[in-house]
Amino acid sequence: MVRNLKAHGLAGEMAAEFVGTMILILFGCGVVAQVVAAGIGDHDSIAWAWGLGVTLGVYVASRISGAHLNPAVTVALAVFKGFEWRKVAPYALAQTAGAFLAALLVRWNYTEVLNAKDPGLTVKTQGVFSTLPGNGTLPVGDWGAFRDQIIGTAILVLVIFAITDLRNTSPGANLAPVVVGFLVVAIGMAWGTNAGYAINPARDFGPRLASWLTGYDTAWSDQYGFPYWWIPIVAPVIGAVIGGAIYKFLIERHLPAGEPLDAMPAKDFETAA
């Protein structure tokens, strides 16, 4: 998926990132609330709804901003694909704000069932909004979750780079969002145990803040009482850079020379994710 983004302006791109990420979180946190609080669905429905949320969010935003929807992806694009560094912080802010608003809507809409399931608003339902080591129940520590988030995000970015590289076997602009959604489904099904596959700082921090403001007093900690909030921020960024490096140095450098479109300067054309 390659878009010419120069005509839209930073404000338009931020708006697109805001709305695209909001769509992602409405489906993602919404399905977890339904499963955890109402008992409707299971892990597979969570994985599929998160993946579909990614697909739909990308379709909403890609024409304007490239639909990163993830600060870790934005950083990887800046490191390896020529995305302008001056836009990294505004994109991350817009993504986090979209995630925050979406989580507030989920919290409001599911107020009754969340309060019935967990009147004290504890770690029992905190996972609706933000991630925990071992999903709050399994014997996984913070460093195990940190490792998991590096690996999971590296997989995410490595495959996104492959999907969106027109010199590779790209599915094309119209189908790429669907394939990226399938990628997130696969990560959820294969890498969801140790840390709930946040793989996205905005996806975790925005809803975590929303939950804290609406009654979850332990939102910043894990089930062991240790500060956990920083792990889904730092580890995905590290993993994104690792995944991007793997693609650049082990795959991209061996691809055939690009067509004229691919040869356009990175400042004019940016890879969507």
What are the tens digits of pLDDT across the range 199-232? 999 999 999 999 999 999 999 999 999 999 999 9
- Averaged pLDDT for residues 132-151: 97
Under DSSP, is residue 4 helix (H, G, I), strand (E, B) or coil? Answer: strand
DSSP string, 191-248: S-TTTTT---HHHHHHHHHHHHHTT-TTTTB-TTSSB-TTHHHHHHHHHHHHHHHHHH
CA distances 196 to 48, 144, 177, 214, 250, Å, are 14, 12, 22, 22, 28
Among 184, 40, 197, CA closest to 132 = 197
When the pLDDT of each residue in the chain is averaged and rounded to a whole number, the result is 92
Cβ neighbours, 10 Å, residue 8: 17
State yes or no: pLDDT of 164 exceeds 70. Answer: yes
**pLDDT confidence of 258, banded at 50, 70, 90?**
low
**pLDDT confidence of 262, banded at 50, 70, 90?**
very low
∠ CA(134), CA(150), CA(30), 5° rounding? Answer: 55
DSSP string, 139-166: S--HHHHHHHHHHHHHHHHHHHHHHT-T
pLDDT of residue 162: 96
Cβ neighbours, 10 Å, residue 82: 15
122, 203, 15, 172 alpha-carbon torsion, rounded to 10°: -150
Domains of the chain listed by start with CATH number: 10-254 (1.20.1080.10)
pLDDT of residue 169: 85
The pair phi, psi for residue 37, each rounded to 5°, is: -85, -35
Token digits of residue 76: 């990887």
pTM of the model: 0.91
State yes or no: pLDDT of 168 exceeds 70. Answer: yes
Distance between CA atoms of residues 164 and 162, nearest Å? 6
pLDDT of residue 231: 98
252, with CB counted inside 10 A (0-12, 13-18, 19+), is middle
Under DSSP, is residue 261 helix (H, G, I), strand (E, B) or coil? Answer: coil
Contact predicate 208/107, CB 8 Å:
no
